[in-house]
Structure formats: C-alpha cells, structure tokens
Chains A and B, each alone.
Chain A
Amino acid sequence: MINPHGGELIEREMSAEKREKIINEITDFYRIIINAEQAQEIENIAQGVFSPLKGFLPENEYESVLEHSRLTNDVPWTIPILLGISDDDAKVMNPTDSIVLVGPDGPVAVLDVEEIFKFDKKKHVKSVFGTTDSRHPGVKRTEEMYDFLISGEIELIQANPHPFDRYYLKPKESRLLFKERGWNKIVAFQTRNPPHVGHEYVQKAALTIVDGLLINPIIGKKKAGDFKDEVILESYNALIENYYPKQHAVMSILKTEMRYGGPKEAIHHSIMRKNFGCTHFIVGRDHAGVGDFYGPYDAHDIFKDFPDLEIEPIFFKSFSHCKTCGGPVNDKICPHPPENHIFFKGTMVREIVNEGKIPPKEMMRPEVVEVIKSYEDPFVK
C-alpha cells in the first residue's frame, strides 16, 4: 500500500483516561474559542488526513511552504495549515504553555504552544492563491484573519459528532478497507456536486486501470448556490446503487472546506487522498478554481514540480455527450465538431435545476435527477 505522506500516518487522538482528566481540569487551562471549520481541521490533523503534520505550522515551516511549497524536510506541502489568534490572546500566551481549543460543541484539542508570530497576509495570499485580489474568497478570508498565528502540536480531546459521520472513514479505516477488499491501486475522485454523466464517465474510465474507486465528496462550508451536502451524498448513493460495480467502488466523505487555491490546492487534495491510501487522483479542468483566477489546466501543470508526490494524478480535460458518437466522450477521443456536443458542466446543471427544468438524460442519470427533484431547495442559501 502507498506510504502515508511524509512516511508516517499521524494519530493524535487522546485516550479515554486522558480525555477525562483534561475535561476535569479544563478550568486550569487557558482557552481559545475556535470555529467549526477550525475544529474540523484539527480533527483532520489528529486523524492523519494532513499527515505528516502534527499541529499548526511553526514559522520556519510556514515560510518554507510559502517559498518552496515544501516543508523544511523537503516533503511537498502547498497549503499552510494555520490557526490565527487575537492580539489579546497573543499577548498573554507563552511558548511551552498548553492551552485548550474550544469549538462550538465543546473542548476540541490541547495545543502545546510552540510559537506565536505575526504573518504577512499579502505574501501569504500571493503564494497560496497567486493573487492579492480581495474578490478571491481565499484572499478575503485571509484578510479577515487575526494578525497573529499560533503554532504547536495538537492532541484531539474528542471529535465532534457530524451529521454525515456514517459516510466518514479515517485514513486508517480507509486503508484497512482497501486491504480487506484486496485493492492495491485505488483512484480517488473528488466532488462537490451531484454526479452528471461526465463525472460517471471519468470515474469509470479511471477505474478501468485500477482496482478500486473512492468517490470522496468534500463536505463542509460551501458557497451560496452550491448543492447541499445531503443532495450530493444521496445522488451518489443513487448512482452507485444503479450503475456501479459494488465490489470496485465505495464512497466516503472528506470533511474539510474548499480554499479555492486552484493548483496549490490540487496538490493538497492529492496529499489528503494519498493519506487515505489512494494511489491515483483524478484532476479535472480548473480543479479547486474559482472565477477566472486560474488557467483551466494550471492544476495539471503544477504536478510537474512534484515528482516525489507518489500519488499519481490522472488528468482529464473536457467531457461532453457527442450526438454523433452516441455517448460520453472527451476531447482526445472524439473528432466531431462542438455543435454535435452537449457539454457537461456543474454550473450548467445548477442553472437547469434553478430554472425548474430537468437535465436531459444525456447529461444526468434519471435516478440522480429524482434525488435532486425530491428537495424543495437543493442549494445552499
């Protein structure tokens, strides 16, 4: 099976005894309030999704990621995992303190403070998002962050219940699942939309060269107008049930938020899938992009800089239904002109559904359409 990224699958979940002790003594700790998204990223660190990270990046690692897209030990890493703190918190905390991070549902983790440092937001956004334009959601979010960052290793007190936990596998669990199924080569497909026929075509094309397919929707904070998480999951269930060989396809979720970091996020997404045990990762057109901030294939080109990533990207460009060929095709295999094609695009599906119309069967399976139709409002407000 593929190595965890950096060689070690990180597990930093507290034992039941330690958890009880910390909770009993919680008033002795300095506490910082964090939001649900930050609590989620802490779970990702603790459960190995972000291996080899054991906590929030210290300054030298952070600078290395910004300048070289690698940790200081040369391991590829493109998206800094950071925790901002207020000026008031920064003033009273010292390196070597142990503090408790408290999320909306209670205590999340203990953090052993290593450093507190100010960060250069302009440099950060230029490196991570390739722009300083505040219209980019990642830039806007960074501008809204506190000026100070805190670093240090974390230990998870407890994972908060999540409405879709039934679909979540930790990296250790997905790795054992693949082993049990006898899969050596596994391709991961990331999605944040109900599947159209183009997605199905890509997944099945990739599956023909590997042993198993992991459909891995991103579940987390989304933009207004995106499909709701439950719609995505139910529609994939319908697709798998009706059109996939069950011995070769599974679905589990990735609980994280989109950063819209385009090419750099494509590398980050690959790293997370490698930690889940996947050997291949499908990268489509404008992966993790937003608006016109990135070129359509920037997220393909960046992989040339990471010959040591180990997980292998599978690149796809455009897909469509060709009326002459009579089925789904891609730009490599179909000679017919654009007017013969119905192009598959998530935005197009959204527009059709928004107008109260039904996507044609060449674009979307009827079972998937049924799921979408069963929701009065399938979109995030």
Chain B
Amino acid sequence: MQDKKYTTISIPTPLANKIKKRIEGTGFNSLSSYVTYILRQVISSIEQDEHNVEFSKEDEEKIKNRLRNLGYID
C-alpha cells in the first residue's frame, strides 16, 4: 500500500473561515480538498504553454513531407 504524501501549510484563520463558509454544500468535503483544487487549477494555468514541443529542422521537413503525401497539407 502506497500512501500519498501530504504536508501542512498555514493560511490566515479569517481566510480559512471564509473558505469554509464558501464551500458549504459545494461537494468539497474539507478546506484542504478545496485549496488543493484551487492550487492545481492555478499552477496548471501558469504552466500553460511552458512546454512547447520543439521540432528540429530535419524533423519538421520529414513530418511535413508525410503530411503532404497523406493529403493533410498542400
């Protein structure tokens, strides 16, 4: 059995209270699950477009030829 590692972070108590109130009846069962959800969303939006796939000149030409031969591009 593998346990997911968790850690503790501190946030201001008034903010925690505000979030607790906000998540009532939303399906989030804890402050932690809500904060995890929001952080995952934020981090993934920051990382958008950070990992562009690079094509070497040779690679690009080879792929373009195949796409042309298959009729995908002119």
Contacts and interface: CB of A to CB of B under 8 A. Distances in A.
A3 B47 contact: yes
Given A1-B49, A1-B53, A177 B73 contact: yes
Interface string B40-67: 1101100111111101000110011011
A376 B47 CA distance: 52
Residue of B53, B60, B73 with highest tally of chain A CB at under 10 A = B53
Contacts of B52: 1, 3
B7 to A, nearest CB: 12
Nearest to A3: B51
Nearest to B52: A1
Nearest to B73: A180
Interface in A63-77: 63-64, 67-68, 72, 74
A9 interface: yes
A21 interface: no
B63 A64 contact: no
A52 B41 CA distance: 19
Nearest to B44: A308
Given A60-B2, A304-B27, A310 B66 contact: no
Nearest to B1: A63
Interface in A330-363: none
Interface stretch (A32-40, A140-148, A168-176, A313-321): A168-176
A83 interface: no
Given A307-B37, A308-B44, A176 B51 contact: no
B55 A172 contact: yes
Contacts of A177: 67, 72-73
Nearest to A171: B53
A4 interface: yes
A307 B66 contact: no
Interface in A173-203: 173, 175-177, 180-181
Nearest to B60: A176
B44 A176 contact: no
A225 B71 CA distance: 32
A180 B67 contact: yes
B73 A181 contact: yes
B41 A307 contact: yes
A308 B66 contact: no
A344 B43 CA distance: 40
Contacts of B64: 176, 180
A310 B4 contact: no
B51 A68 contact: no
Contacts of B40: 74, 307-308
Contacts of A1: 49, 52-53
Contacts of A2: 48-49
A4 B51 CA distance: 7
Contacts of A60: 2
Contacts of B51: 3-4, 7-8
B2 A67 contact: yes
Contact of A310 (B44, B55, B59, B60): B44
A93 to B, nearest CB: 23
15 contacts: A1-B49, A1-B53, A2-B48, A3-B47, A3-B51, A172-B53, A173-B66, A173-B67, A177-B73, A180-B73, A250-B72, A304-B27, A307-B37, A308-B41, A309-B44
Interface of A: 1-4, 7-9, 59-60, 63-64, 67-68, 72, 74, 166, 169, 172-173, 175-177, 180-181, 250, 304, 307-310
Given A175-B53, A176-B63, 6 more contacts: A2-B48, A4-B51, A64-B4, A180-B67, A308-B40, A308-B44
